[in-house]
Amino acid sequence: MKIVSDRISDAMLQFPLPFRTLQEALQSAPSSKPFVTLWKNEDEIQSVTFGEFSALAAAQARYLQGEGLKAGETVILIMPQGIPVMTAFAAAMQLGAIPAILAYPNFKVEPAKYRFGLAGASANLKARLIVVDEAFPEDLMEHVGLGRDTRLVRSLAAGGESVSPSKDLDPDAIAFIQHSAGTTGLQKGVALSHAAVLRQINHLGPALGLSSEDRIYSWLPLYHDMGLIACFMLPMVCHLSVVMQSPTDWVMQPGSMVQLISEYRCSVGWVPNFALQFLARRVPEEDRASYDLSSLRMLINCSEPVRATSMDEFLSAYRSSKLRPHVLQSCYAMAETVFAVTHSNVTADPARVWADVNSLRKNRVLRVPEGTPGAVCLVSSGQCLTGTEVRVVSGQGDDLPDGHIGEIWIRSDAMLTGYYNRPDLTAQAVCDGWYRSGDLGFRSDGELFVTGRKKDLIIVAGENLYPQDVEEVVSSHPDIQDGRVVAFGFYNADLGTEQIIVVAEVRQPETLESSREIETQLRTSIVTELGVAPRAIYLKPPRWIVKSTAGKAARSTTREKLISEHPELDAGKGEFTSVRPSPANH
């Protein structure tokens, strides 16, 4: 495997970039510069230069055109992570068509959930073409929403004549559609224009201090914003090289991520919280010590919220791997704003505050000194990018002062055109140009701190509890599988409040024989660290919890699965009801 120089030159990119459309940016790339290196294993590596990539896209555009695809029509791509799906995506944009990548089936996603999401997304997009690869399972074909005028294409031919890129693309036209994570997210295709995507990149590039010699590493799926924007569109527009592998290959070989960063001298990458813990716990210590991560300028934690424990565990585990100071950064991002809303200052560590846990439950942030008993460490997601504004509002829509927790509203010049074919959802989410994120957080000294999702909040005796706080405590138990914990609230009509239910996967099935002992230990830890007691803890075998297509635990779907297995939790069959009462009746 070729190892290139780890020196990042002073060739800083000059923003704003001069391109009007994404296709114009691709066509302007230096043809001989390496673009995508796809790594599967030591013996299976594919690489293309920008010139080779453009040629493949042009040939595939001719094929799509021959299948009747025209400008303004949608095309769905259900293909494995790799160069073919990326060139097909670029080919569709070259014609002025609107591509959307949907998740390819894999062992991590529950089949029923995948079928539901696939059927809903493909029906909503009303695609002119649906492209699947030859290996796509036949039993899933019936769930692909084929309309009367929809053609199914089993593969894309890359040979033959090519199509010259359209020169009259409208920068304000929809360039592509991306989806947010989760089952319901697949029903909401986020339509983004060329202009919005380019504005986002022109704002994000300076915040990252991008150089023409930066090399991006990614295992992130291309069907969600972190993979599609940060690890495909950004390097395509900025003419940067990217080293890529599939999420499945990374999960099967966790050490391959740090191996590739080390060997290819990658300098920038994005990860969610759980990946940092995964890398710290699943890569043997002797392997970690052999990696040279000195080329890595920043590894950006793009989660809501950013967890201090995840970052500290990674830094401790890789202390001997020559990490640079301030290598771990943070970002708040979402599909509806193309990608990033805020970003931390890359010349320093993300800001932290320590808060009294009881004040947090009352939507206030009472800052206390580090090390104060019962204090919670909160990590900033950074400051707003250029062109972006953030409000933190109360339930009545009033602006809240610093240190008060409320819903985060966002206004940006890099916003979605709308939810594709869903003007009703667009009207609900966007009001007077402000996007209602559904996330909770607070501001402090110009920094935005994201505390969790509004819909996931557990209200115990009138106080707020974030499920991820419970999940973090449970995940620290040695017998519990990393990142495979879900906590949520069930309303107890007799007590007039919600109570906490926890579902956790054990590492080994035989561990379930000691479930009572483990449950007792977990209950004690939750009471000790959070001051509340869960109503019930359910231990489950590996791979029981339902995951979203983004690889996150899906709380709502896991909740419904638990109800189906434990009917005593359902309404009218026991102490709990699965529906929280309306505020008027609460």
Per the model's pLDDT, the better-predicted residue between 378 and 187 turns out to be 378
Going by pLDDT thresholds of 50, 70 and 90, the confidence category of residue 184 is very low
Nearest partner of 8 among 159, 209, 205, judged by Cα? 209
Distance CA 227, CA 459 (A): 34
Residue with tokens 């259900």: 78
Same domain (yes/no): 360, 422: yes
157 close to 67: Cβ distance less than 8 angstroms: no
The CATH number linked to 557 is 3.30.300.30
- pLDDT for 497 equals 79
User: Is residue 2 in a domain?
Assistant: no
Same domain (yes/no): 291, 399: yes
Same domain (yes/no): 237, 194: yes
Same domain (yes/no): 177, 318: no
User: Is residue 102 in a domain?
Assistant: yes
Distance CA 77, CA 132 (A): 6
At residue 440, does pLDDT exceed 80? yes
pLDDT, tens digit, 9 for 90 and up, residues 99-142: 999 988 876 666 666 777 777 777 788 888 999 988 888 777 77
Residue with tokens 């089993």: 154
- pLDDT for 586 equals 30
Paired tokens of 255: 């050490």
What is the reported pTM? 0.88
Nearest partner of 81 among 276, 250, 324, judged by Cα? 250
Interval 269-285 mean pLDDT? 93
Interval 155-174 mean pLDDT? 75
At residue 580, does pLDDT exceed 50? no
Instruction: Name every residue whose Cβ is closer than 8 Å to that of residue 35 and which is 6 or more positions away in sequence.
Output: 29, 48, 49, 50, 52, 53, 235, 236, 241, 242
Distance CA 571, CA 237 (A): 52
End-to-end CA distance of the chain: 62
CA 221: distance to chain centroid? 8
437 close to 190: Cβ distance less than 8 angstroms: no
Same domain (yes/no): 51, 119: yes
Same domain (yes/no): 371, 470: no
Same domain (yes/no): 214, 265: no
The identity of residue 561, as a single letter, is K
Same domain (yes/no): 189, 327: no
Question: Which range (442-456, 537-551, 570-584) has the least confidence?
Answer: 570-584
Of 246, 268, 288, the last residue of a domain is 246
29 close to 239: Cβ distance less than 8 angstroms: yes
Same domain (yes/no): 308, 370: yes
- The number of C-alpha atoms within 13 Å of 373 and in the hemisphere containing its C-beta is 2
- pLDDT for 585 equals 32
Nearest partner of 229 among 250, 257, 268, 201, judged by Cα? 201
At residue 581, does pLDDT exceed 80? no
Looking at the DSSP assignment, which residues form a beta bridge with residue 504? Answer: 485, 539
Task: Report the 3 state secondary structure along 398-454.
Answer: CECCCCECEEEEEEECCCCCEECCCHHHHHHHEECCEEEEEEEEEEECCEEEEEEEH
At residue 232, does pLDDT exceed 70? yes
273 close to 303: Cβ distance less than 8 angstroms: yes
Interval 39-67 mean pLDDT? 95
- pLDDT for 165 equals 63
pLDDT, tens digit, 9 for 90 and up, residues 347-370: 999 999 999 988 998 999 999 999
Instruction: Name every residue whose Cβ is closer than 8 Å to that of residue 545 and which is 6 or more positions away in sequence.
Output: 484, 485, 486, 503, 505, 553, 554, 558
Going by their DSSP bridges, the two strands 406-412 and 388-393 should be labelled as antiparallel
- pLDDT for 582 equals 32
Strands (E), 161-282: 174-179, 189-193, 215-218, 241-244, 268-271
Nearest partner of 237 among 59, 13, 420, judged by Cα? 13
User: Is residue 383 in a domain?
Assistant: yes
User: Is residue 496 in a domain?
Assistant: yes
Interval 327-339 mean pLDDT? 97
Same domain (yes/no): 370, 503: no
- pLDDT for 10 equals 58
Same domain (yes/no): 171, 106: yes
Among 148-162, 260-274, 461-475, the range of highest mean pLDDT: 260-274
Helices (H), 71-154: 83-94, 111-125
The CATH number linked to 295 is 3.40.50.12780
Of 397, 428, 456, the last residue of a domain is 456
Q: How many domains does the chain have?
A: 3
User: Is residue 10 in a domain?
Assistant: no
- pLDDT for 140 equals 77
Sign of CA dihedral 73, 74, 79, 81: positive
- pLDDT for 577 equals 34
Query: Mean pLDDT over all residues of the chain?
Result: 88
User: Is residue 373 in a domain?
Assistant: yes
Looking at the DSSP assignment, which residues form a beta bridge with residue 76? Answer: 100, 130
Interval 254-277 mean pLDDT? 96
Distance CA 369, CA 36 (A): 47
Interval 327-342 mean pLDDT? 97
- pLDDT for 324 equals 96
Same domain (yes/no): 531, 550: yes
- pLDDT for 482 equals 81
Rg (CA), the chain: 24
The CATH number linked to 160 is 3.40.50.980
Of 207, 225, 246, the last residue of a domain is 246
Distance CA 157, CA 364 (A): 58
| Peptide bond preceding 305 in cis form (omega within 30 of 0) | yes
Going by their DSSP bridges, the two strands 434-444 and 447-453 should be labelled as antiparallel
User: Is residue 181 in a domain?
Assistant: yes
Instruction: Identify the domain containing residue 322 by its residue range.
Output: 254-456
User: Is residue 229 in a domain?
Assistant: yes
456 close to 467: Cβ distance less than 8 angstroms: yes
Paired tokens of 177: 């559609």
